[in-house]
Amino acid sequence: MSENILDIKDLRTSFFVEGSEVRAVDGVTFQVPEGKTLGIVGESGSGKSITALSILQLIERPGEIVGGSINFKGEELTEAKNARMRDIRGNEISMIFQEPMTSLNPVYTIGQQLRESYKIHQGLGKKEGTKRAIEMLELVGIPSPAKRVDQYPYELSGGMRQRVMIAMALACRPELLIADEPTTALDVTIQAQILELIKELQNDIGMSVIMITHDLGVVAETCDYVAVMYCGKVVEYADVETLFENPRHPYTVGLLNSLPRHDVDQDELIPIKGSVPAPDEMPTGCRFAPRCPHASDICSKLPELETQEDGNDVRCWIYTEEWDGEKGVAVYDREHTT
């Protein structure tokens, strides 16, 4: 087992709006093993992006990290000084964002924006910075990089801009890359190219990756480990094969069932009933209970994230001694058709 480059324990990030606290990230725990890719999966509003921004200490008012620990290579980031965090950002930990169309500054050229990273973290001047910027653009597969380097973002397509974002993120060869839905806004053909690119560069540089997505297809293709998030909590954490072979949490099962499959004959997809609860009507027990087909009385209490014999960490009463519902309930029926 390799070392963990990132170890997050009980991370809590809240937003304080009009006197009430919205717990966007509510006790998240997971690890990113060195050189591996961790997928964070969940619906919109499950706290995936806030978790990512918390790692980089980029939470802004009215948001605030209210508790927990973020351990990066033995260093506690929640206690790091601003200057140290700036040193880490874009250098040791980089991030690429969901929206390539709006994530580049419209009034500066690609080259100016790429050079800035080299200037901040490596003290490179204009000439050397431009040279490195062109190399980086070439690396991420941008044609005629020497010309592109002087262009403005509006002159590039969405896919090209996301490549520029990746070039910027990887400019200083980070040890950890956080990719927040890097392909969501792109065409399907471009999506595959971008994922392939991230994977290739990961092998070249030897970095670890956190891949945030709501697309289980992306997870299956790119990740080694998966954390499934629901309403600010991790409900299941496992290596990718175990998760797809033997998902334990009813929410994970729900996500898998709502995916079209080609290996079994399927008459229809089974959606998860209901929708994500609003912050002010969050259940006090298991967050998923109101939508869960197996929910029982005990689900009005909050279950812990507990390790199962095959290595999954699951937050569900079904797998505990206390379970008061149907014994041996088949949560996941692999061969299920309707």
Partner 1 sequence: MTTFIIRRLLQLIPVLLGVTILVFSLMHLTPGNPAVIMAGESAPQATVEAIEQRLGLNDPLHVQYFNFLGNALQLDFGTSIRDNIPVFEHIQPRFLITLELTIYSMIFAIVLGLLAGIVSAVRQYTFSDVAIMVVALFGLSMPNFWLGLMLIQWFSINLGWLSPTGWGDPDQLVLPVIALGTAGAAIIARMTRSSMLDVISQDYIRTARAKGVKERVVIFRHALKNAMIPVVTVIGLQFGYFLAGSVLTESVFAINGLGRLIIDAILQRDFPIVQGAVLVVSVSFVIVNLIVDISYRFLNKRVDLN
Nearer to partner 1 by C-beta: 115 or 291?
Answer: 115
Count other C-beta atoms under 10 Å from residue 317's C-beta: 26
Long-range contacts of 141-144 (CB under 8 A, 24+ apart): 141/193, 141/197, 142/167
* Tokens 């200083």, located at residue: 172
CB nearer to partner 1: give 133 or 235.
133
Q: Give the binding site for partner 1 (CB under 8 A).
A: 56, 58, 85-91, 94-95, 97, 99, 102-108, 116-117, 120-121, 152, 154, 165, 168
How would you class 1 by CB atoms within 10 Å of its CB: exposed for 0-12, middle for 13-18, buried for 19 or more? exposed
Please tell me the distance from the alpha carbon of residue 142 to that of residue 162, in angstroms, as a whole number.
11
**CB nearer to partner 1: pick between 116 and 224:** 116
Which one, 22 or 88, has the nearer CB to partner 1? Answer: 88
Shortest distance, position 61 Cβ to partner 1, whole Å:
9
Least distance to partner 1 from the beta carbon of 99, Å?
5
Return the closest-CA partner of residue 230 out of 52, 46, 70: 46
State which amino acid sits at residue 158.
Answer: G
Residues 6+ apart with CB under 8 A from 208: 5, 6, 32, 33, 34, 35, 36, 37, 38, 175, 176, 177
Q: Helices 158-170 and 110-122 sit at what angle, rounded to 10 degrees?
A: 10
CB of 58 to partner 1, least distance (A): 6
Q: How far is the CB of 112 from partner 1 (least distance, A)?
A: 10
Closer to partner 1 by CB, 33 or 90: give it.
90
Minimum separation from the CB atom of position 22 to partner 1 (A) = 18
Q: Which is nearer to partner 1, 185 or 292 (CB)?
A: 185
Q: Are 174 and 94 in contact (CB under 8 A)?
A: yes
Q: What's the min distance (Å) between Cβ of 115 and partner 1? A: 11
Give the nearer residue to partner 1 in terms of CB position, either 44 or 203. 44
Element (H, E) at 279: none
Cis peptide bond prior to 62, omega within 30° of 0: yes
Q: What's the min distance (Å) between Cβ of 62 and partner 1?
A: 10
